[in-house]
Structure 1
């Protein structure tokens, strides 16, 4: 991270100073800012709930008393539970906006990424339901920048089917200017495409059964081009082959200008191109073929189209898999509606911080190192690693 965007611990504290304290002033023994900063540090170090945060804080008493305002000592687990259950998730998340923006700028500069890919995708915390209270499992829709290793925003909904209403709210939380937004078929909606374009970004939207006429039209358009072996010269092609985990996958990306005759083409804001990806996977002598189709506001440039598609698929490995395996998010039994959403955000934000640290160690090892070493923890928290 370049020096001009680094933060100190004092800067970290500043992010939370305007956060409204939801607690009663009676018997308020611990400053809200200190409680929240300890929660961030505890999750970085491997804690997965109020009890874990409190136990970690107790073991790191000397560090915390020397760096934070704690006039009455280390808070107990009930303090963390009450605070994270009382804080409004939108207000809590808004405290991280400027912090994330500095991380985003630094990551773009270091990776020389001029047009980052932001993948909008949902994930369900499977054990966070409470049948007795009629509370369904938490389904969080988040915006993940795969190339930058950053989670830039999150909106919760109780069911996957509610993503259509959650996505516009999520997009309003993030500065989209100059990015490529990728969304699965459920989010392929005309209003969402318009919102993305008006936000100064481009989109690559998957098309499936929910847009059946459009999907058929795209399929027929590419089929007509293949029948004369792309003689029109409109189609661009890019092919990649990867071998990993016992399988070989060849992906062929096709892109061409969106024809004016395409179904409802005028209704899709900024529509310029259509795309198709054919993935052929060979494993144990068996071959499977998957075809996906897309609409996009991107101009022609098949490798850029391919990067956007691959960036979206990358969210599963670079974010969701880590949240499940390293953070064990699926095992979380936090049932309070606000607390579970706030913890889901802490998981994503701390994962972003860990990914910014230049160490080549795995995320699991970085989390352990945060628990073992005060110096390493402060490097991750403040972005001061060299």
Structure 2
């Protein structure tokens, strides 16, 4: 799967989409098409360069290789100032539309796109004062594939002008996927969200907490008074912790759905474990339209949290999104989208580990670029 041919395929479709992004610049004085600047930014980001200056250094230090690939003279390789201007000037909505079309077109039909998590991540680089909870900042809501680590859809909001709940619902409507399983935390345990999942011919496994008090109480009563139809026990002794989980599945009758469309099963997860010298016990509940075994539910529930370490952690630690000097809302939004493109290119080639992908790419990055005019 990690072949030059696959790189060619991905980049060819990406460049065709990048050419559709609206160029905000005037023709006078324009040295290169917008898509070339965007590809340089994506490539530099994939290789570990973050921020205007580092990306400018990447372009400068590799000007002879880049000029050969793009058929331009070395002195006209995109500079620091050009990269900064483009990042601050490109309409993020145009770039986001391009990403969503490209991601679904390129990856939406894969066999390993079945369990899809919805979750939001704030861009801490857009916070002026981390101690002020009332300030405005940018957040991206992602549709993330548990199996492949790919991002299939993005929505962007400002926390004072939008809602993760609303954008999660918009993702379900807009992504045009069917026969998938959507997973989400308790924030997305909303009757409208679940109705949209059912309407689009998909299934769900959603966490239930106190934000749905009546439902939460009914679930507790049902699980305490009924016999589970399926049970699964598992142990996890990795990463310096010991956890035992007991997963039980309970059948829900039609008259017990109470407005939660297609609700068929309740899942109860009891966790007992230790972190260092501390022990803990906790119980979590989930609602689902599926009729799977407890073992399958355990995999889906555990898999939902991959979005934290395979997407959010990667963007913060590997791509240094939170530490970035790019704080302008427009530029930060654009960089987050371009970073997600780079992540998808790695994951599309089968790299679960981005650092492994970076080492692989460093030896052959010229082949990533496909000249397409």
TM-score (norm 1): 0.84
- SS of residue in 1 equivalent to 2:305: helix
Say if 1:283 and 1:54 are closer, same or farther in 2 by CA, change over 3 A: closer
Show the counterpart of 2:195: 194
Change (3 A) 1:368 1:204: same
Q: 1:85 and 2:85 equivalent?
A: no
Asked if structure 2 preserves the Cα contact closer than 8 Å seen for 1:5 and 1:103, the reply is: no
Query: Mapping of 1:1-386 within 5 angstroms?
Result: 1=1, 7=9, 9-68=11-70, 70=72, 73-97=76-100, 99-101=102-104, 103-104=106-107, 108-109=110-111, 113=112, 116-130=114-128, 136-159=136-159, 162-225=163-226, 230=227, 234-262=228-256, 265-358=257-350, 362-370=353-361, 372-373=362-363, 375-376=364-365, 378=367
| 1:279 and 1:289 in contact (8 A); partners too | yes
Whole-angstrom CA distance in 1 between matches of 2:320 and 2:7: 31
Q: Cα distance, 1:365 vs. partner?
A: 4.2
Aligned residue pairs total: 362
Contact kept in structure 2, 1:43 and 1:347, CA below 8 Å: yes
Q: Judge conservation of contact 2:126–2:329 (CA < 8 Å) in 1.
A: no
Measured at CA, do residues 117 and 9 of structure 1 come closer, stay the same or move farther in structure 2, by a change above 3 Å? closer
Per-residue CA deviation, residues 288-311 of structure 1 (Å, 9 max, x unaligned), is 112111111112432332222111
Gaps of 5+ in 2: none
**Do the aligned partners of 1:276 and 1:293 also contact (CA within 8 Å) in 2?**
yes
CA deviation after TM superposition for structure 1 residue 96, in Å = 3.1
By how many angstroms is 1:188 displaced?
1.3
What SS is found at the alignment partner of 1:328? Answer: coil
In structure 2, distance between residues paired with 1:206 and 1:19: 37
Cα 1:236–1:8, aligned 2, differ >3 Å: closer, same or farther? Answer: closer
- In 1, Cα distance between the equivalents of 2:7 and 2:65? 25
Separation in 2 of the partners of 1:282 and 1:377? Answer: 48
- RMSD of Structure 2 on Structure 1 (CA): 2.7
1:36-84 C-alpha deviation (Å, 9 max, x unpaired):
1111111111121222222111222222222225477211222222222
Secondary structure at the aligned position of 2:76 is classed as coil
Using the size of structure 2 for normalisation, the TM-score is 0.87
Check whether the contact 2:318–2:355 (CA below 8 A) recurs between aligned residues: yes
Q: Distance in 1 between matches of 2:351 and 2:344?
A: 14
Maintained 8 Å contact 1:22/1:87? yes
Look up the SS of the partner of 1:51 in the other structure: helix
Deviation at 1:6, TM superposition (A): 6.1
Q: Distance in 2 between matches of 1:193 and 1:254?
A: 22
Question: Where in structure 1 are there 5+ consecutive unaligned residues?
Answer: none
Shift of 1:216: 1.0
Query: Compared with structure 1, are the counterparts of its residues 8 and 307 closer, same or farther at alpha carbon in structure 2 (3 Å cutoff)?
Result: closer
**Residue 173 of structure 1: CA displacement?**
4.0
Structure 1 residues 4 and 61: alpha-carbon distance in aligned structure 2, compared to 1, 3 A threshold: closer
Contact 1:275 1:293 in 2 (8 A): yes
